[in-house]
Structure 1
């Protein structure tokens, strides 16, 4: 449902009076309110949420704007916004709690030892060594497989089985790469350690003891309140409320992305981490030593991992707000010379980011609904910067009358960092170069699973992937290249919303066997941020890395040859 934006500062400021928790001075609160109205106006945000804590107390919590476009719900400090990857600090804390009571496993225990031979990767070194620390510090080297949860391509158990073919982007522990998909393993480890689901264990061991009583999970069955900010993207310049159920596929990696909380609840979370693992009643929920383990850095972040990887540093911004390395769930950086820990993330229609400076006992959280653009990341970062300055100095380093210009400069910096491969433009054509039946059929990628291309009665090709992705394939004047247009449904926004339109058309490139001029495979770049997965009619099982095993007799067996026979049997079964 699309409705027009109304950005009148006076109207937005009325929401500041509604249900506010504030220990700021009147001058500070007024300055913050004006700043938020400017950010929302410049970034065209329908709704936002902010929490500030300082010296063991909640300094400010509030919500702004319209949280639910169809219902006209006004956002308040108890309105929940989804955190995306901001969920990961909660999961890390739960793991610390479960491991503290477990004598058999540690952060360094290989996942394959905890879950058994079910967990396997293409190379034996990863299979034998990849652990929880590797996943939380984002150093596995695997791609993110973005389209798998978005399209609900497969369930948890098939995904874990498919990880043996997960695309490698970097060598193991070589560099930082965002790989939320690996949280499917984290969730299984949590089930093994706690004998229950991630959601129930998180509530029992972490959220309830801290006083967070109304969490919302992306699993719609868990949603028990209407005080919830629904996801929004722009369409033709107006907010378009996308269905909450369109995010249901992220259940498969719930432990990495599925938590939604209010400003009030996030204030409790910030205080818990700043107060050494204690709740508001001074009860120790997690031992200080176990909590401190989560803040130890393990993987340096480089700019080539994406425009969001390093935050903002001088001279591109007056005061650096950096994100230098990954810890166990957090991102360590610096602000005004202080070690600063941040985390946040985005889902379609959501942005979140929170920061704590333990040395000064201050923390800030911000979340909003809107486009997942560079400007959105600039806005969410600037809110955190403003909040930290308010708590540290009582005023920001920038002129609040110049918010739009500062955000534009930050956005331009992010755009420069983004690598864009030059490609020849494609244009729609009335007909394809071949008969449409030549393109139809079943195609498979060993990690991403199956796509089906069919011709319907209207003489159009459709690409179907997972349980919700359904695209019309428009022919172009470029041979064997089609433009994908999402059909009406949960993922309609993925090719029609303004943010996705600006990224250019989603394309499918068919590859041909030159010997007989037959369509053999199809490459779909937008399915993953790091690589272009190729789905093939004839799946080829790759040869595993050789690994010699010493027999009792002293002779050696090359396991590659043994596994090769096994894989050929699997291939024959697939073909049949």
Structure 2
């Protein structure tokens, strides 16, 4: 197998050293499609991408779907499983946000409610006590929530304990601000859960039904569905999968459903064909493939209206695609409503990425060239390297310029431009000893926002176990770094081989353990759970 893979890479390297300089005047469709296939297939053979077993690609230009296909195999742990097609579903993760923002803006336009309306108003939530601080209760608008300028840390792991849409109002009351409203960029999935609840209130139906009737059905997106309520075991779905400690594991369907239960931020499953229709919808100003208006162009304009500057620290991974170190610049400068505005090769673009447990995506549309590219893949994609180089390579082909990267360079990237990249994968040391008797860590701990965490010792293996909602973890002491009360967190049950954390930290007040800190759950606002029993 190694020799055959090596031979294939060598053949591709030879072909791409000859072909790229000759194809960009009068490109024909078949040669361009072949170059797309070569690049994707060559990249999938790379060692750093061997844990991305399935890929989905679609390209639209001038209103037509020029390319839609799948690569690899749909079951990450079974290499003989079927190859994905243009209709195979992938979890699109945070690309869902553009769907949510568009649906909400459409409903509000139908009712004559401006997007800058206060959330507390009688036409929206009719609630003066939604948030802890006066400024949020009084001045927060729909645009503030959709553009991540509320000033709240993400707290995404609330989904373990408070994951239903009905929990969203309890969450909002206990969120503590990290910054004043409209003064910062704090990416926040929970706020999109709040907007999903607003959609249901305005539309008097479920989020899923309203999304289907207002957008998916009129656009002909017949394959697209929702991971929170679909019978996903029966779907033509590329199975979400994750590499953990050197092996690949399928994400349990039950985990995928629960994680997506709070709608709005990342619960849509879609295909290459359907995402082509989605890109053309925006490029046409709100029309479907038949030319019929689905959403008023004024709504599309509102979606693409600049709202919130994105600090460099929030998109640090973009350094791998920024000149002068990289050959080209792809930027994400302003967060709009479910989209990011930036530039690629000096051309204005709208883009977004999505990452969830076992699935990674990216979308880019270039309005001035009537071009859109979508990529979905199973597995992790650290620093967005795989999806971004694929999207930009394909964009270059259809822009008619020589791609900045070639197949024979794909495996080494980000070298030679950057030499300090590392996968930084977590490996748990299961042989360290705790520095205190384990019974000192046992107890019940509470946090106003999250609720209850329970820590108990298991008699059979003499290890600590931590439970929060439907999430269970086995705790292994982490003492080699002279941190006496730190523990690795190894997921159990539905989380086994899917989610591990490098640490949780117990606090000792001089007489006893009084707190447990989930330092990896939200580093910008670490949840502290105080002992109550």
Verify the 8 A CA contact 1:508 1:525 in the aligned structure 2.
yes
Distance 2:299 2:509 in 1: 56
> 1:465 maps to which residue?
468
> 2:38 maps to which residue?
34
Would the alpha carbon gap of residues 410 and 292 (structure 1) be closer, same or farther in structure 2, given more than 3 Å must change?
Answer: farther
How do residues 126-165 of structure 1 correspond to structure 2 at under 5 angstroms? Answer: 126-149=136-159, 151-165=160-174
- Per-residue deviation, residues 358-388 of structure 1 (Å, max 9, x unmatched): 11100000010112422xx111111111121
> 1:481 maps to which residue?
485
Verify the 8 A CA contact 2:428 2:488 in the aligned structure 1.
no
1:521 to 515, 522, 525: 515
- Per-residue deviation, residues 68-111 of structure 1 (Å, max 9, x unmatched): 235612111111111111101111111121011113x3211222
> 2:88 maps to which residue?
79
Would you say 1:510 and 2:497 are equivalent positions? Answer: no
Root mean square deviation, CA, Å: 2.9
Report the Cα offset of residue 252 of structure 1.
Answer: 4.1
Distance 2:386 2:63 in 1: 27
> 1:54 maps to which residue?
61
Distance 2:277 2:237 in 1: 18
Verify the 8 A CA contact 1:474 1:485 in the aligned structure 2.
no
Would the alpha carbon gap of residues 483 and 334 (structure 1) be closer, same or farther in structure 2, given more than 3 Å must change?
Answer: same
Distance 1:291 1:246 in 2: 34
> 1:398 maps to which residue?
405
Distance 1:289 1:428 in 2: 57
Would the alpha carbon gap of residues 403 and 194 (structure 1) be closer, same or farther in structure 2, given more than 3 Å must change?
Answer: same
Would the alpha carbon gap of residues 311 and 426 (structure 1) be closer, same or farther in structure 2, given more than 3 Å must change?
Answer: closer
With normalisation by structure 2, the TM-score equals: 0.87
Verify the 8 A CA contact 1:39 1:403 in the aligned structure 2.
yes
Verify the 8 A CA contact 1:332 1:340 in the aligned structure 2.
yes
2:440 to 422, 435, 438: 438
Q: Secondary structure at the match of 1:253?
A: coil
Q: Secondary structure at the match of 2:487?
A: strand
How do residues 204-223 of structure 1 correspond to structure 2 at under 5 angstroms? Answer: 204-223=213-232
> 1:532 maps to which residue?
526
> 1:89 maps to which residue?
98
1:245 to 254, 274, 277: 254
Q: Secondary structure at the match of 1:388?
A: helix
Report the Cα offset of residue 289 of structure 1.
Answer: 1.2
Q: Secondary structure at the match of 2:520?
A: helix
> 1:383 maps to which residue?
390
Would the alpha carbon gap of residues 408 and 466 (structure 1) be closer, same or farther in structure 2, given more than 3 Å must change?
Answer: farther
Report the Cα offset of residue 122 of structure 1.
Answer: 2.2
Would you say 1:337 and 2:346 are equivalent positions? Answer: yes
- Per-residue deviation, residues 294-352 of structure 1 (Å, max 9, x unmatched): 11111111122252467832113212111111011110001122110001210011110
> 1:293 maps to which residue?
302
Q: Which runs of 5+ in 1 are unaligned?
A: 14-22, 419-424, 497-504, 539-574
Verify the 8 A CA contact 1:322 1:334 in the aligned structure 2.
yes
> 2:314 maps to which residue?
305
Q: Secondary structure at the match of 2:120?
A: helix
Distance 2:402 2:496 in 1: 43
Would the alpha carbon gap of residues 157 and 531 (structure 1) be closer, same or farther in structure 2, given more than 3 Å must change?
Answer: same
Q: Secondary structure at the match of 1:28?
A: helix
Verify the 8 A CA contact 1:28 1:394 in the aligned structure 2.
no
Q: Which runs of 5+ in 2 are unaligned?
A: 12-26
Report the Cα offset of residue 189 of structure 1.
Answer: 0.5
Would the alpha carbon gap of residues 487 and 387 (structure 1) be closer, same or farther in structure 2, given more than 3 Å must change?
Answer: closer
Would the alpha carbon gap of residues 404 and 8 (structure 1) be closer, same or farther in structure 2, given more than 3 Å must change?
Answer: closer
> 2:14 maps to which residue?
none
Distance 2:420 2:178 in 1: 25
Would you say 1:183 and 2:187 are equivalent positions? Answer: no
With normalisation by structure 1, the TM-score equals: 0.81
Verify the 8 A CA contact 2:56 2:271 in the aligned structure 1.
yes
> How many residue pairs align between the two structures?
505
Verify the 8 A CA contact 2:434 2:484 in the aligned structure 1.
yes
Would the alpha carbon gap of residues 7 and 97 (structure 1) be closer, same or farther in structure 2, given more than 3 Å must change?
Answer: farther
Would you say 1:491 and 2:487 are equivalent positions? Answer: no
Q: Secondary structure at the match of 1:178?
A: coil
Report the Cα offset of residue 493 of structure 1.
Answer: 2.4
